[in-house]
Amino acid sequence: MTRDATTIPSAGPAAEERTASSSLADFCTPPTWTVRPEDIEDVRRLQGEIRQLARARSAVILAHNYQLPAVQEVADILGDSLALAIKARETDAERIVFCGVHFMAESAKILNMDRKVLLPSLAAGCSLADSITADSLQDWKERYPGHVVVTYINSSAEVKALSDICCTSANAVSVVRSLREDKILFTPDRNLGRWVARQVPEKDIVLYDGCCPTHDVLRGISVEKTVQTHPRAVVIAHPECREDVLDMADEICSTSGMVDAVARHPEAQTFIIATEWAMVYRLQQVYPDKEFVMADGCIGCRLHCPYMKMIDLPLVKRALEEDVFEIEVDPEVAAGARRSLERMLAVPRDR
Q: Which residues bind ligand 13P (CB under 6 A)?
A: 65, 80-81, 154, 168-170, 212, 240, 254-255
151 versus 255: smaller Cβ distance to ligand 13P: 255
CB of 170 to ligand 13P, least distance (A): 6
- Pairing status of strand 165-167 against strand 183-187: unpaired
72 versus 169: smaller Cβ distance to ligand 13P: 169
Find out whether 4 and 80 touch, Cβ atoms under 8 Å: yes
CB of 47 to ligand 13P, least distance (A): 23
12 versus 257: smaller Cβ distance to ligand 13P: 257
Q: How many other CB atoms sit within 10 Å of the CB of residue 86?
A: 16
CB of 114 to ligand 13P, least distance (A): 25
CB of 303 to ligand 13P, least distance (A): 10
Torsion sign, CA atoms 216, 217, 221, 226:
negative
CB of 323 to ligand 13P, least distance (A): 26
List b or e across 316-339, with b for residues whose CB sees 16 or more CB atoms inside 10 angstroms. bbebbeeeebebebeeebbebbbb
List b or e across 122-152, with b for residues whose CB sees 16 or more CB atoms inside 10 angstroms. eebebbbbebbbbeebeebbeebeebbbbbb
Q: From CA 127, how far away is CA 53, in angstroms rounded?
A: 32
43 versus 261: smaller Cβ distance to ligand 13P: 261
Q: Is 167 helix (H, G, I), strand (E, B) or coil?
A: strand
